[in-house]
C-alpha cells in the first residue's frame, strides 16, 4: 500500500478545480493539507481574512452610503481591475508588451488602488505560480 502523501484533488481522476459543490466541500481538506505541509502564507491568510470580514460587514452598511459613493465604487472596480490585469499581470509579470512611462504610471497607480501588494511582489509571486503550477510546490 502506498503511504506517501498526495495533494488533495477535487475529482478522483485528478482534474483541475472547477466550481462544483464537490470543490467547495473539499476546501477544508485542502486547507488541512497545506497546514500540515507548513506552506500557508500566513500574512496573506490574515490579510484575506480581514478583507473578507470587512467586505461582509460592508454589505450590511450599503444603505448608509450615498448614491455618489456607490457610483464611485462601481466605477473604481473596473479601473483597479484594469491596473491589476493589464499592469501587474500582463505588463510586469508576463512582460507581454512595453508601455510609455505615462501608461506605466497610470497602471502603477490603478494597481495600487486595487490593493494587491506591490507590482514587483505581485509579478514575482505570479511568475513563481507559473513555474510551479501543477506541482506539489504550487505557490
Place of cell 500582463: 90
Mean pLDDT of 8-21: 57
Tens-place pLDDT, residues 76-134: 999 999 999 999 999 999 999 999 999 999 999 999 998 888 898 888 988 888 887 76
Tens-place pLDDT, residues 15-57: 555 678 888 888 899 889 888 988 888 888 898 899 999 999 9
Least confident of 4-18, 62-76, 110-124: 4-18
Measuring CA to CA, how many Å separate 24 from each of 19, 49, 120?
8, 17, 31
The residues spanned by each domain of the chain are 65-132
Q: What is the pLDDT of residue 10?
A: 43
Cell of 31: 486547507
Q: What is the pTM of this model?
A: 0.65
Cell of 113: 488602488
Q: Transcribe 30-95 into DSSP letters.
A: HHHHHHHHT---HHHHHHHHHHHHHHHHHHTTGGGS-HHHHHHHHHHHHHHHHIIIIIIIIIIIS-
Amino acid at each position: 500500500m502506498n503511504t506517501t502523501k498526495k495533494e488533495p484533488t477535487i475529482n478522483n481522476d485528478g482534474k483541475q478545480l472547477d466550481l462544483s459543490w464537490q470543490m467547495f466541500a473539499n476546501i477544508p481538506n485542502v486547507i488541512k493539507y497545506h497546514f500540515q505541509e507548513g506552506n500557508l502564507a500566513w500574512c496573506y491568510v490574515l490579510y484575506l481574512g480581514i478583507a473578507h470580514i470587512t467586505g461582509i460587514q460592508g454589505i450590511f452598511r450599503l444603505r448608509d452610503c450615498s448614491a455618489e459613493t456607490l457610483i464611485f465604487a462601481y466605477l473604481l472596480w473596473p479601473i483597479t481591475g484594469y491596473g491589476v490585469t493589464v499592469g501587474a499581470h500582463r505588463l510586469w509579470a508576463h512582460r507581454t508588451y512595453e508601455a510609455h512611462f505615462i501608461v506605466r504610471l497610470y497602471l502603477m497607480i490603478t494597481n495600487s488602488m486595487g490593493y494587491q501588494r506591490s507590482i514587483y511582489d505581485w509579478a514575482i509571486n505570479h511568475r513563481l505560480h507559473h513555474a510551479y503550477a501543477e506541482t506539489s510546490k504550487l505557490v
